[in-house]
């Protein structure tokens, strides 16, 4: 960050804290691309980047009263960015681990059992699901399409596809998980 951005942001924040709405709006116009750039270096999913950027901007809004005028604005902003990005990544990786473990367990028990000619019938499993869910499961887990491909085909966000897949697997575990 160059020194002039620091001066501009500091001035705009001080004016914003004094109730100047035009300065408040200008501050967010100036910091939005800064925040977006910081987020883009740590969060690689585009949908998540937008979500985290918005979360940070909301955090700046909510914490603006805590900014101390004699301290560097960019360091204050970086601290908020760092906290929110780390919070997102911690949540993301924890969620990914849980989803991955659940999916692996289910696949080992269901698809693995099918492959070893056990009692679970994939066609029956797919028929038990709503058509869209069956299609998502088939494309993602059987045919090997990526989450990105499916999100484009169904006009959903990648996060939405992952959530649906998680729910589909949970539904199948509830219906067929005890059968071996």
34 within 8 A of 12, measured Cβ to Cβ: no
| Alpha carbon distance, N-terminus to C-terminus of the chain | 60
**Dihedral sign from CA coordinates of 135, 138, 144, 98:** positive
Same domain membership, residue 76 and residue 125: no
Query: Would you state the pLDDT for residue 118?
Result: 41
| Closest residue by Cα to residue 56 from 73, 39, 74 | 39
Query: Would you state the pLDDT for residue 71?
Result: 93
CATH of the domain at 127: 1.10.10.10
Query: Would you state the pLDDT for residue 29?
Result: 96
Same domain membership, residue 85 and residue 144: no
pLDDT, one tens digit for every residue, the chain (180 residues): 445 899 999 999 999 999 999 999 999 999 999 999 999 999 888 888 999 999 999 999 999 999 999 999 999 999 999 999 998 888 877 665 555 555 555 555 555 444 444 445 677 787 888 888 888 887 887 777 788 888 888 888 888 888 888 888 888 888 876 554
Contacts of 104 (CB under 8 A, 6+ apart): none
> Which two structure tokens, joined as six digits, stand for 122?
């994939």
Query: Would you state the pLDDT for residue 165?
Result: 87
* Residue 64 per-residue DSSP state: G
Same domain membership, residue 136 and residue 84: no
In a domain, 100, yes or no: no
48 within 8 A of 39, measured Cβ to Cβ: no
CATH of the domain at 85: 1.10.1740.10
Same domain membership, residue 119 and residue 58: no
Same domain membership, residue 116 and residue 86: no
Domain that holds residue 150: 110-176
In a domain, 105, yes or no: no
Measure CA 11 to chain center.
33
Same domain membership, residue 20 and residue 71: yes
Looking at the structure of the chain, the number of domains it has is 2
In a domain, 104, yes or no: no
Residue 82 exposure: Cα atoms within 13 Å on the Cβ side: 6
Report in angstroms the alpha-carbon separations of 112 from 67, 104, 106. Answer: 56, 10, 9
Distance (Å, rounded) from C-alpha 41 to C-alpha 61? Answer: 22
Distance (Å, rounded) from C-alpha 30 to C-alpha 125? Answer: 52
The pair phi, psi for residue 177, each rounded to 5°, is -60, -35
Distance (Å, rounded) from C-alpha 81 to C-alpha 60? Answer: 9
């Amino acid at each position: 960050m160059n020194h002039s951005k620091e001066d501009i942001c500091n001035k705009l924040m001080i004016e914003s804290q004094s109730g100047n709405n035009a300065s408040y709006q200008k501050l967010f116009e100036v910091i939005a691309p800064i925040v977006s750039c910081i987020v883009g270096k740590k969060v690689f999913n585009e949908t998540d980047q937008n979500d985290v950027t918005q979360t940070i901007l909301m955090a700046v809004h909510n914490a603006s009263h805590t900014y101390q005028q004699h301290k560097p604005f960019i360091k204050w902003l970086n601290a908020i960015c760092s906290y929110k990005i780390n919070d997102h990544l911690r949540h993301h990786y924890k969620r990914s681990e849980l989803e991955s473990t659940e999916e692996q367990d289910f696949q080992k028990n269901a698809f693995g059992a099918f492959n070893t000619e056990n009692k679970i019938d994939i066609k029956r499993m797919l028929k038990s699901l709503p058509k869209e869910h069956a299609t998502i499961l088939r494309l993602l887990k059987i045919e090997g399409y990526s989450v990105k491909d499916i999100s484009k085909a169904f006009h959903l966000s990648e996060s939405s596809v992952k959530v649906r897949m998680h729910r589909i697997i949970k539904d199948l575990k509830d219906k067929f998980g005890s059968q071996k």
